[in-house]
Amino acid sequence: MTLPFDTNRSQDTIRTDSRWSLQQTPAWAAILGLVIFTILGILAGAGFSRIGFLALSFSVGIFLYQRYPVLYTGFTWWLYFLTPLVRRLIDYRAGFQTEAIILAAPFLVTAITLPGFIRYILKSYPYRQMNLPFVLAFVAICYSFLIGLVSLEFSFRLIRTFAEWVSPVAFGFFVSSKWQNYPTYRKNTQRIFLWGTLVMGAYGLVQFIAMPPWDSYWQQKVVEEVGYVNAIGGESGTAIWGTTNTNGTLALLLMPGILLLLTRQSSLSILAAVIGCLASLLTNSRTAWILVLIALFIVIGNLRSQLQIKIILFALVVGLLVLPLANIQPFSGMISSRLGTLSNVLHDSSFQGRSAQYTEFLEDGLLNPIGRGLSSVNHPDSGIINVIAEMGWLGATPFLGALILLVWQMFQASRENDLFMFVARAIAVPLIISPSGNFFSALPAFMIWFFAGMVMASHRYYQHQLNQP
């Protein structure tokens, strides 16, 4: 039986490398077509380019998924990197829209993997133990979706929330199922985040020094329409958000970029790391800073001494380059003031707000075994509250069990000379166990399941190698 994710299919073995080749000309032509359409739509100030970008992104995604799965992976990541910037450029030329349908593009392209994942669940029993976390999470999300249908009105918000929860799980399974081509996916991921960190970080620095008019226009419109600026530029309203929509989102995307640069050490990697670290500091996102530090400790603590020294030296070089830049104007003022709040976190307004949320939850959420249904709760600072409140204990038990099993399985994977595998694990685990932040849906969930899927793929790849005669 040939499964939808069977890595023996010809398109996976023939077209695995993400670098340009004659075989990949149709793929790059499709991507270039989307780029040209987007640029022309922006220059023309055409409102229809929003729908056009969404439809073309989805069409290109399907084409790449079916014939060039490695390029499909990179294409999806770049949509997460750049779609908010495309939205702002179109809004600047064609007029601001509060409900930006164009922002659904990356999630829609991510969801392309969902039908194949469902076919796997229906056709493949008993399940492989390594795939069990994906299946358990999927079942829990579907349960919460059904509760939402019963207790809430059927709405676009409910469908969107379901997609933001379930499509990252399917994408993570898709990546893990490509284990036979793991080295190619590993190299492609390193390349994606090298250039992604350079682009997002450099744009963020430009934004801080001299904000482009489309960003200023969009920020002003958000303040007028929504009434607050915290969602964009942090508590002070001055933090950078780069090519994304919020400072927290930019910091979250720079996290894997900075860490993955440890696995591909070169002059360009050092430059990207310096730019990425400085941009991360300017996001004012303490949660992301702490996640990076935790990830570094996880990586260093699991490596043999030779690789530990290599990582520490690379980090020292980057740190020595970032430190002088962070201590000159205009960077130093904002960075130092935000770093200062780390020493007095108990009296910080963000911490106090989160404490109040947990207190409210303990009085209400723990007593609801069934749950309120997907999209019924919105606690942006606590994924655990969202899971238990929306899924109830009936849904939260398999979902949280899936995450626990996922972490356990990731720590069973081991390959002394594969630094990428250690870093991928160190990216996923802090996001899963973090008490601060809602990381179980949308982009953060995509990051968790993608990097967990890469670790699972590495484990199966090396196990297969060991079993070869």
Would the pLDDT of 147 be above 60? yes
Confidence at residue 14, expressed as pLDDT on a 0 to 100 scale: 38
Phi/psi of residue 236, nearest 5 degrees: -85, -15
User: What is the rounded average pLDDT of the residues 118-142?
Assistant: 82
- Side-chain half-sphere CA neighbours of 125 within 13 A: 5
Amino acid, res. 355? S
Q: What pLDDT score does 137 carry?
A: 94
Q: For residue 359, what pLDDT is reported?
A: 62
- Quote the percentage of the chain above a pLDDT of 90: 46
Cβ neighbours, 10 Å, residue 3: 14
Mean pLDDT on 430-434: 89
Q: Find the range with the poorest average confidence among 120-134, 228-242, 257-271, 382-396.
A: 228-242
Domain chopping of the chain, boundaries: 130-467
Q: Please determine, for residue 90, whether its predicted confidence score (pLDDT) is greater than 80.
A: yes
Task: Report pLDDT digits (tens) over 154-204.
Answer: 777 888 888 899 999 999 999 999 999 999 999 999 999 999 999 999 999
Distance between CA atoms of 207 and 460, rounded to whole angstroms?
Answer: 43
Which alpha helices (H) appear in 152-266, and where do they start and end? 156-176, 182-209, 213-226, 230-233, 247-260
State the Cα–Cα distance between residues 268 and 291, nearest whole angstrom. Answer: 24
Comparing 285 with 232, which gets the higher pLDDT? Answer: 285
Reply yes or no: is the peptide bond before residue 398 cis, omega within 30 of 0.
no
Q: How confident is the model at residue 277 (pLDDT cuts 50, 70, 90)?
A: very high
Residue 134 pLDDT > 80: yes
> So what's the pLDDT on residue 354?
59
- The pLDDT of residue 71: 96
Average confidence score pLDDT of the chain: 83
| Mean pLDDT confidence for 411-433 | 87
pLDDT at 4 over 70: no
pLDDT at 136: 93
Report the distance separating Cα 123 and Cα 205, nearest Å.
49
Backbone φ and ψ for 177, nearest 5 degrees, come out as: -75, -10
**What whole-number distance in Å separates Cα of residue 289 and Cα of residue 446?**
19
pLDDT in tens, 11-55: 444 344 445 566 788 999 999 999 999 999 999 888 888 999 999
Give the burial class of 389: count Cβ atoms within 10 A of its Cβ; 0-12 exposed, 13-18 middle, 19 or more buried: buried
**What pTM value is reported for the model?**
0.89
Percent of the chain at pLDDT > 70 equals 82
pLDDT at residue 8 tops 50: no
Asked whether the predicted pLDDT for residue 309 surpasses 70, the reply is yes
